[in-house]
Amino acid sequence: MTRDEARTLIERLHEIWSEGEGDLDSIPQVYAADFVAHMPKGWGRTPSRNGHDGIRRAIERLRTGFPDWREHVEDLIIDGDKVAVRYFSTGTHLGTFDEQAPTRRHLTVDELSIFRIENGRVAEQWCLNDDLAFGKQMRGESLD
């Protein structure tokens, strides 16, 4: 896979997660069937994001809580079969999310992910996001 193809694949992945652009039927064109997500340990026992069904469930869960969710790529670095991305996500809490009723609060969350590409699809992801800022914003607390 060329660098341009890798960039396009990862940009497409972020489009899938973003409201208005996210065609869930294109998950198999972006993610490997045996995709594995490595999420932060502090998340506890969250539903699996593995495989096509896991990705679909994760996106649907997120869109239920934040129907206007958008991922904004700021930096993308490609090295062989790995792509590192620094991005931020935004959304308004308009639906139930993790059993919390809608707060109507607008959130901005910084995220970092490393993706491994195999056979033209994303095979693995290691993700770190600013869970502290996410939680504070959900509670209406200042980030200062």
Copy the structure tokens of residue 17: 């997660």
Answer yes or no: is 14 within a domain.
yes
Q: What does the pLDDT read at residue 16? A: 95
Give the gyration radius of the chain's Cα atoms. Answer: 15
User: What CATH number is attached to the domain comprising 75?
Assistant: 3.10.450.50
43: domain range? 3-139
Alpha helix positions (H), the chain: 3-17, 27-30, 51-65, 131-139
Length of the chain: 144
Give 30-87 pLDDT, tens digit per residue. 999 999 999 876 655 555 788 999 999 999 989 999 999 999 999 999 999 999 999 9
Answer yes or no: is 20 within a domain.
yes
The model's pTM is 0.91
Answer yes or no: is 144 within a domain.
no
Answer yes or no: is 85 within a domain.
yes
Answer yes or no: is 54 within a domain.
yes
